[in-house]
Amino acid sequence: MRLKPRRVLLLALILFIFYVLYKILAPETSSKHIQVDKYTNKPSLTEARKNVTLKIEQSDVVRELKATYRLDWDHHLNESPWTIAQKWISKEHVHPENTPELGAVLRAMATRKIIAADVGYRGTQLKMTILLEGGQRAVFKPKWFPRDHVIEGPPYAGEDRHNGEIVAFHLGRLFDFRRTPLAVGRIVNLETEIKPVAKQRLLETFFRRGNNTCFYGKCYYCKGEETGLCGSGVHMEGTVVLWLPNTVTLKLHKHPWSRTYRKGVIAQWEKDDNYCHNTVLLKPQFQDGPRLLDIIDTAVFDYIIGNADRHHYETLGDEQSAVMLILDNAKSFGNPHNDERSILAPLYQCCRIRESTWLRLHMFGDGMLSDVLEAVLSADPIAPVISQHHFRAMDRRLSTVVNTVKTCLTKFSVNEVLIKNR
């Protein structure tokens, strides 16, 4: 009899709870304590059998996690996908933990007819606002770079990486944050799908470069044809991000760990190791409620995807209990060879993290994160979504996060570091 997805996750979490408690409370075992065969100077047969058993158990967990998070793209919907997506939004999350309708909603985002297109004014980066059949607004973020392109320079350098939004959405599912908007890959025909329904102000920014259709839109960095982007012929790959309904009230806040974005000028948190305790924790909004823990969750999330551009954040309302959304994730996956440790400042300066987040991190350790995530992303219309270099970087960064928490546990008690949800 097949276990239900929620029961599988619960069982996996229980197993990892015992593992985490053991790792926290038991002394570290050095390599010299491993049982070694005196003749071969290699791990004994008993030790080898233990390793094999552990790998088999891990393989079983990976298999169940892949089954749990795999989406049914062909699921039949009994009502509008946009109505379903709107119903999902609560005070804590943008979508539920797991539901068969999720794949079908993403399919609708990737295939529904585009009935209107306009410029994307908000922000600094090139994008379009599109209206999908049925009246759903969405954002189309176009592809700038091939999958293996490496962004050099500051950690926030370069144009948006459209595929980062897709990975962020699914990573939010795996970590049970569920505060990232729905995102899916889509290839559009600029000549037949966009231009015939484009508003005049968007249409005016279209031009040709050789045999390719191009546009430069309207945004802070959109200065004309020299800043424009071209498709491959008439086709352009991009990501469709679902727009939150107007009924949702968002409140914009300045991020306490934001960068100055000025060369040679560093922020206070970059030069004060006690910034969290001396500054952040003195502010009322961070003394109670979920805000600080949300920021730390997001710092872990951003570090793993390589996003160093979280200068503002938005909450679902302005109440003290309002949760932080994880929006605008396209500055991620720029350089898989660079791990920007400063992104983790909220974690290593405050030395606290949700216990549930800590357990999730352990559950996806030892390469399980990339294994499960790659399987989930393989169904996206523009797969492969990211390169193998980025998958390996995510596993490496996850290990760094775990070690950072362990360092905190050597300085403070378990109850001070691992915080119950609130």
pLDDT interval class at 55 (50, 70, 90): low
pLDDT interval class at 246 (50, 70, 90): confident
**Mean per-residue pLDDT for 103-111?**
98
pLDDT at 98: 83
Nearest to 98 by CA among 8, 208, 6: 6
Q: pLDDT higher for 353 or 43?
A: 353
Do 155 and 340 meet the contact criterion of CB atoms below 8 Å apart?
A: yes
pLDDT at 43: 47
Per DSSP, 60 falls in state H
* Range in 21-35, 335-349, 390-404 with the lowest mean pLDDT: 21-35
Q: Quick one: which H or E segment has residue 142?
A: strand 136-142
- The mean predicted confidence, pLDDT, of the chain is 89
**Mean per-residue pLDDT for 139-167?**
96
In the chain, DSSP finds a helix count (H) and a strand count (E) of: 13, 12
Distance of CA 158 to the CA centre of its chain: 18
**Mean per-residue pLDDT for 309-315?**
95
Q: Say whether 309 is catalytic.
A: yes
Q: Which structure tokens are listed for 18?
A: 């015992």
Q: pLDDT higher for 56 or 360?
A: 360
**pLDDT above 80 for 77:** yes
**Mean per-residue pLDDT for 385-389?**
98
Residue 217: what are its φ and ψ, rounded to 5°?
A: 60, -155
Q: Which structure tokens are listed for 59?
A: 């393989």
**pLDDT above 50 for 27:** no
pLDDT at 8: 54
pLDDT at 183: 98
pLDDT interval class at 9 (50, 70, 90): low
Q: Which listed residue (297, 302, 309, 371) is catalytic?
A: 309
* Range in 40-49, 162-171, 304-313, 375-384 with the lowest mean pLDDT: 40-49
pLDDT at 26: 46
Distance CA 71, CA 53 (A): 30
**pLDDT above 50 for 31:** no
Reported as a single tens digit per residue, the pLDDT across 186-196 is 999 999 999 99
pLDDT at 42: 45
**Mean per-residue pLDDT for 166-188?**
97
Nearest to 44 by CA among 36, 32, 33, 52: 36
pLDDT interval class at 325 (50, 70, 90): very high
Reported as a single tens digit per residue, the pLDDT across 180-221 is 999 999 999 999 999 999 999 999 999 999 999 999 999 988
Q: SS3 helix, strand, coil % of the chain, rounded to 5? A: 45, 15, 40
Reported as a single tens digit per residue, the pLDDT across 249-302 is 999 999 999 999 998 899 999 999 999 999 999 999 999 889 999 999 999 999
**pLDDT above 60 for 402:** yes
**pLDDT above 70 for 18:** no
pLDDT at 37: 45
pLDDT at 33: 40
DSSP secondary structure, 304-357, as one string:
HHT-----EEEEESSSTTPPBP----TT-SS-TT---GGGGHHHHHH--EEHHH
* Range in 136-140, 145-149, 362-366, 390-394 with the lowest mean pLDDT: 362-366
Q: Quick one: which H or E segment has residue 56?
A: helix 45-69
Reported as a single tens digit per residue, the pLDDT across 362-382 is 999 999 999 999 999 999 999
pLDDT at 11: 58
**pLDDT above 90 for 56:** no
Length of the chain counted residue by residue: 422
pLDDT interval class at 231 (50, 70, 90): very high
Give the whole-number percent of the chain exceeding pLDDT 70. Answer: 86
